[in-house]
Each structure stands twice: as structure tokens, then as C-alpha cells.
Amino acid sequence: MNPKINFTPGPSQLYFTVKDHIRTAFREGVPSLSHRSKKFETYYQDTVEGLRELLQLPSGYHIYFTGSATEIWERLIQNLVAENSFHLVNGSFSKRFYEIAVQLGKKPIKNEVDNGHGFDASLSIPADIELIAVTHNETSTGVSLPLDFIYDLKVKNPNALLAVDAVSSLPYPDFDYTKLDSVFFSVQKGFGLPSGLGVWMANDKCLAKAENLLSKGISIGSYHTLPGLQSFAIKNQTPETPNVLSIYVLSKVIKDMIRRGISNIRKETEYKAALLYHTLQTHQVLKPFVVDPSFQSKTVIVANCGDQTERITKALLEKDMQPGDGYGPSKKTQLRFANFPTHSKEQFELLVDSLN
């Protein structure tokens, strides 16, 4: 009925243990569990401690839950910006982050490059910028920014906070979180959960900034301010009734990933990416959309397919594989392939065999 292997970049294929975890959740009464119960606090704590271990988060980092990563864009601007943020825009999602700052009445500045491209290392950022907003992995175009490039933004602009949208890259990137201030993702991509939960990691500097804005009489929102989230997080709770089931399943998937080993997940991600890029580079019809290898995403791989797009989609569907459409205007000429921890080496081998 629906293809067995789902390569759409999000919502994507479920992590292969999710169905079992949801079955167990029903058995244990999780879907009707009170978010003020001890049991919920345990699941909350498991998720937070698991993420700390999986991603090697340093102390001084806090983890909060929201309804979506889109919500985190809004909360980041509300909580960390009085006047101006600086946005590196190279696709639809980094652009939307910028637009949210405009909608919230701030004065954001953007450095915009064409889709499919990264940024010049000489990029200059005004001295009074409060927040630098970077999209590590542009889901719309398959451009990933090198980690050193991102760290360098902080070195050159030590007074600004640095927020990294890692929606479609985590848990793959091996970030040095001491060089970043906030990183966030949503669960329906690399973690392979059903959609409906955003995960927001922020350090003490972010909390201090939000408190500073608040002390100046600037509204930083209501139930999802950083100080508000933190006041509940210390009790392993959320301000509102959250997506309890999703927090539970996330705690379990993180445990599964820790057991599997993050370095194995990273190595396999690189193997699968190399396999597909090699196929695209040597293919007669398909070509990688992102030409510069230093900007080629490992987790969302975009192929130019031209007028063969529909034919290739059909052929893959016949083999029970669902490719992702190109994003927006590229819908009819590109295909996107998610390369997430749930996608096995065998599935990628089958994909490249079918494409060849």
C-alpha cells in the first residue's frame, strides 16, 4: 500500500524500533499518562540524559521541548534578540527563519546566496549583532555547512550568540557544542519519530540573554520563554501538556542509538552518502545538485533529474522505494534522498542499484 522504504527527508521513515516502542507505550499507559506524574518525569529525564550522552553535550547546556522546530525559530528570536539577528540564507528553511525575525518586529540582516551554494569564509557580520542564525543542513537544497566554517563565525563574533538549525542533520554531525550556543532539531527526521515534537538545546548564555531582555521590559513570549521552560525543566516537566508519547518514544530511540554507537551511526551515514554521491557523479542522467563537495550534505542528498524526474520516481516506487520530491520550484526536476540512521546500508545499496 505504501512503499516499504521511505527516502523523503521528513517526515521520513520511522526508526525501525518505533513501532515496538509505541506498542509498549500503550501497554504501559503512556498515552494517557499525566505530565505531572513521577513516571512522566522519569521519561523526561531519560530523554534529556540520553541526549546528553548521545551528543556529548557539555555542562551548561539545557534541553527543552516544543511543538515543532518551526516554533523554535520563533522562540529563538523572541528570547535572544532585542533588535537584530544575522541570518545565513541559502534555501527555503534558512529564509523562513529570517522571515520570522521580520514578522516579530526585529531588524534582521541576511546574507543570501543562491540555492545549492554555501557561504564565503570572508563573510562579515556587523559588530552589534545579537544572534547569528545558521542552518547546518538546508533540507530544501541538500547544502550542509562545514563545521569549521560555523565555529569560525563564533570566533570572529564572540559577542553574538550562535544558533544552529540542525533539523535534518542530527544526530549525524559531531558538533563541538562549546563553540555553539543553541542547537535544535525536530524528531521526524534523523531520529525517525512521528512528527509533533521539537527539541531545543540552549546554553547558559542563552538563558542569561533571555533574562536580560525580560529585565529590560522586552516581551520574550509567555509559556515557552527560556526562563519559563527552565523553571519546569529542573523538575523534569514542561510548562504545558506536551506530546507525552513522543517524549517517551524519543527516550527509547535515543537508548537504541546509544547501544548501536554514535560513531557507528556516523560511519554508516558517511558510507551511504559516499555510495549515493558516487552514483550521482558517474550517472548518465542524474547529477548531484550541490557541486562543491565541501557543501554536500551527508543526510539529505539532492539529485538533479531534469525531465527524467517523473520516470525515475515511478521506477523507484515500483521497487517499493519512495524518493522525496524536489523542494518548491524544483519539484519537477529534482529528487531528494534522506540518509538517516534508520536507512540501512542494504537499502542504500538497493537504491543505487536501482538508479544505475
The residue among 28 and 204 lying less far from a second copy, judged by its C-beta, is 28
The residue among 180 and 197 lying less far from a second copy, judged by its C-beta, is 197
The DSSP H or E segment spanning 89 is strand 85-89
Interaction residues for a second copy, span 128-187 (CB under 8 A): 186
The reply to whether 34 sits near a second copy by the rule CB under 8 A is yes
Residue 220 Cα to chain centre, angstroms: 23
The residue among 19 and 319 lying less far from a second copy, judged by its C-beta, is 19
Query: Shortest gap between Cβ of 80 and a second copy (angstroms)?
Result: 14
Are 346 and 10 in contact by the 8 Å Cβ rule? The answer is no
Binding-site member from 17, 84, 92, 195 for a second copy (CB under 8 A): 195
Query: Shortest gap between Cβ of 153 and a second copy (angstroms)?
Result: 24
Q: How far apart are the first and last CA of the chain?
A: 25
Binding-site member from 48, 62, 74, 351 for a second copy (CB under 8 A): 74
The reply to whether 308 sits near a second copy by the rule CB under 8 A is no
- Cα(105)–Cα(343) distance, integer angstroms: 41
Helix (H, G, I), strand (E, B) or coil at 26: helix
Site map 225..264 versus a second copy, x via CB under 8 A: x-------------xxxxxxxx------------------
Q: Rounded to 5 degrees, what are φ and ψ at 111?
A: -110, 110
The residue among 40 and 119 lying less far from a second copy, judged by its C-beta, is 40
Question: Among residues 203, 216, 238, which one has the least CA distance to residue 59?
Answer: 203
Amino acid at 163: A
The residue among 171 and 228 lying less far from a second copy, judged by its C-beta, is 228
The residue among 98 and 295 lying less far from a second copy, judged by its C-beta, is 98
Query: Shortest gap between Cβ of 67 and a second copy (angstroms)?
Result: 3
Site map 95..114 versus a second copy, x via CB under 8 A: ----xx--xxx---------
The reply to whether 35 sits near a second copy by the rule CB under 8 A is yes
Edge-to-edge strand order for the sheet containing 334-338? 287-288, 300-304, 334-338, 324-325
Query: Shortest gap between Cβ of 297 and a second copy (angstroms)?
Result: 19
CA distances, 46 to each of 40, 41, 88 (Å): 10, 8, 34
Question: Interacting stretch for a second copy, rule CB under 8 A, among 8-16, 150-158, 254-262, 309-317?
Answer: 8-16
The C-alpha angle 109, 84, 165, rounded to 5 degrees, equals 70
- Cα(30)–Cα(246) distance, integer angstroms: 10
DSSP per-residue letters across 286-324:
-EES--SGGGB-SSEEEEE-GGGHHHHHHHHHHTTEEPE
Retrieve residue 304's grid coordinates.
Answer: 538533479
The residue among 73 and 184 lying less far from a second copy, judged by its C-beta, is 73
Could you tell me the sign of the dihedral formed by the alpha carbons of 134, 262, 326, 193, in that order? negative
Question: Interacting stretch for a second copy, rule CB under 8 A, among 70-78, 176-184, 282-290, 308-316?
Answer: 70-78
Binding-site member from 43, 44, 61, 73 for a second copy (CB under 8 A): 73
Amino acid at 184: F
- Which residues of this chain interact with a second copy, rule CB under 8 A? 1-3, 6, 8, 10-14, 18-19, 22, 26-35, 66-71, 73-74, 77, 99-100, 103-105, 186, 188, 193-197, 219, 221-223, 225, 239-246
